Amino acid sequence: MNIRKKLTLASLLMILLPIAVSVMLCVMVLFFHGSENLNRLEELYDNDNGLLNVQTILYNYQNQILTYEPVEEIIEAETGNTESNDAWENWDEDDWDDDDEEEEVDYNALLQEEIRRQNSAFGGVVRELTNIGYYYEIYYDHVVLASDLPEDAAEKITDIAGEGYEKLASFAVADGNSSAVKRSYILEEGTLSILAYCENYVGSSSSSQVIRDILSILGLFVAVLVVSIVISIFILTRWLSSGMKKSLNQLSEGVRQVQDGNLSYRIGSKKKDELGKACQEFDEMTEYLENSVREREKYEEAKKQLLAGISHDLRTPLTSIKAYVEGLRDGIANTEEKKRRYYDAIRTRTEDLAELIDNLSLFSRFDRGEYHYSMERIDFGGFVNSFFKEHEIEFKNNRLSLVKTVWERKNLFIQGDRQQLKRVLGNLIDNTIKYREKPESVVTAALYTADGRLYLELSDDGPGVPEEERDKIFDTFFRGDKARQNPGNGSGLGLSIVKEIMKGHGGSIRAEEGVGGKGLKFVMEFPLDRDEDDR
């Protein structure tokens, strides 16, 4: 996973995880402690204009209501009892017995006592009804004890409860937003009735409690959400930083190793993100640098060998020429026959020097890519046959026999430079003759095609080349152990030139073990040149 995807995932998790945790916790709270809140909601939405609330209030305060005991004097005064009033008005002090203690009636004290009794019996009911938006009226045997009904309440109650609702002991009715509830209580000396009326029910008590419950849950949700966000940020930040920190430390260590010259150091990261890719590219860079250093060292070594080979191959004929010249000067060659042999030897060594210089010049042009091939379409099978036929006498003089095994004859066309291809074949045959150990040798040739490529194999029956040296024989001035024993046999440039010519033709050459495990086999590979009909 790349860093961009990790950051996207971390951002989503920072949002989703806290929300999920908060929701789960709130659900758990509601599951274990939410029945009361759900009941309140049910009451809030299923209660018909608060009728259930009013009836519940009247029921809950029933015992308190039944404790009411009216002050008879006040009740009688409120009911307009004339007999009682006349008795009080016509009372004379002479009517008291002399033995009775004279006592005055304190109406204010009686009124205060009545108020106290009403507050004790009805105070809680009145508060609860007022809290939920209901008006009330309390009366005892048709005497109104307390009321806050609006002036038009009686008419509206009649509309929803019907005519004569005053005579009903109990009812609970609702119509639209208006509702009325009445309940009567039988006391020892009379009947107490409570009428509750509401025009627009609000349900403030339940709704307020529900709002408080909702706010509590929201507060809990927000608190858990904040804590979850902080924890998520901490965990996800460590998750992101740990992976990046490891890769950065690996890169830092890799840079230090390269600075110390250890180009073989590899991080070996398997990560798929950008930093993992950077580590892999670092490994590719160090591998490239290591290969470059090896190539440079190899080039330097080849350069040293080249200089040593040039020095050796120049010194050998020059030493011979110097010796023959000194022999002529000192009179060692004292006959015409000896002088002729000395002159012929000097000419031969001079020709060797000229050939060496020509080969060096040619190889240098090949190596720098400055040689321009004269390419043409060549029937390679016919070309090779012509080459062998042209050199038939030379092969015979050098006791070399040619044997053909597989030899295809059709559609063997390539793009090639005839002169340089002759040089390739000539150098390979010369290599066989120079390094053979027997006076006679046999060269086996095979020409065939495979996978759209043309192959020419030349195998000899000579001493062969050890496997570890087969790739090196194409290097400039390389000589194996057997070649070093007889350095006059070659300059060390012949096979190097062959390799460069094959590269210039888009082909290749390699050395393998000879037929039957004896000798050396050269395998040349060329790209076929097919015309439209062949394709």
The pair of structure tokens assigned to 217 is: 């849950």
Angle subtended by helix axes 51-60 and 107-131, to nearest 10? 140
Confidence of residue 458 (pLDDT cuts 50, 70, 90): very high
| Mean pLDDT (whole number) for 112-127 | 88
Is 196 within 8 Å of 170 (Cβ atoms)? no
Lowest mean pLDDT among 43-47, 266-270, 335-339: 43-47
The whole-number pLDDT of residue 462 equals: 85
> Which parts of 34-106 fold into alpha helices (H)?
35-46, 51-60, 62-65, 72-79, 82-89
The whole-number pLDDT of residue 137 equals: 92
The model's pLDDT over 31-41, given as tens digits with 9 standing for 90+, comes to: 665 555 555 55
Domain ranges for the chain = 3-37+207-254, 51-90+105-202, 373-527
Angle subtended by helix axes 380-390 and 418-434, to nearest 10? 50
Is 353 within 8 Å of 313 (Cβ atoms)? no
Lowest mean pLDDT among 55-64, 153-162, 209-218: 209-218
The whole-number pLDDT of residue 525 equals: 94
| Dihedral of the alpha carbons of 490, 492, 494, 499, in degrees to the nearest 10 | 160
The whole-number pLDDT of residue 397 equals: 87
Higher-pLDDT residue of 254 and 76 is 254
Q: Which of 363, 353, 368, 506 is nearest to 427 (CA)?
A: 363
Lowest mean pLDDT among 70-79, 256-265, 343-352: 70-79
The pair of structure tokens assigned to 278 is: 């950077």
The whole-number pLDDT of residue 378 equals: 92
Confidence of residue 89 (pLDDT cuts 50, 70, 90): very low
- Is residue 321 pLDDT above 70, yes or no? yes
Report the 3 state secondary structure along 167-218.
Answer: HCCCEEEEECCEEEEEEEEECCCCEEEEEEEECCCCCHHHHHHHHHHHHHHH
The whole-number pLDDT of residue 497 equals: 84
Classify the C-alpha dihedral 5-11-14-19 as positive or negative.
Answer: negative
The whole-number pLDDT of residue 509 equals: 93
The whole-number pLDDT of residue 164 equals: 84
| Mean pLDDT (whole number) for 368-391 | 87
Percent of the chain with pLDDT over 90: 11
DSSP secondary structure string for all residues of 280-306: HHHHHHHHHHHHHHHHHHHHHHHHHHH
Mean pLDDT score across all residues of the chain:
79
- Report the topology of domain 373-527: Heat Shock Protein 90 (3.30.565)
The whole-number pLDDT of residue 96 equals: 41
| CB-side neighbour CA atoms (13 Å) of 322 | 6
Confidence of residue 483 (pLDDT cuts 50, 70, 90): very low
The whole-number pLDDT of residue 246 equals: 77
The whole-number pLDDT of residue 507 equals: 93
Specify which of 327-331, 334-338, 447-451, 464-468 reaches the highest per-range mean pLDDT.
447-451
- Is residue 46 pLDDT above 70, yes or no? no
The pair of structure tokens assigned to 358 is: 């020509």
Q: Give the integer Cα–Cα distance in Å for 492 and 308.
A: 11
Lowest mean pLDDT among 126-140, 189-203, 228-242, 420-434: 228-242
Would you give the end-to-end CA distance of the chain in angstroms? 47
| Mean pLDDT (whole number) for 228-245 | 76
- Is residue 480 pLDDT above 80, yes or no? no
Q: Which of 314, 258, 313, 318 is nearest to 285 (CA)?
A: 258
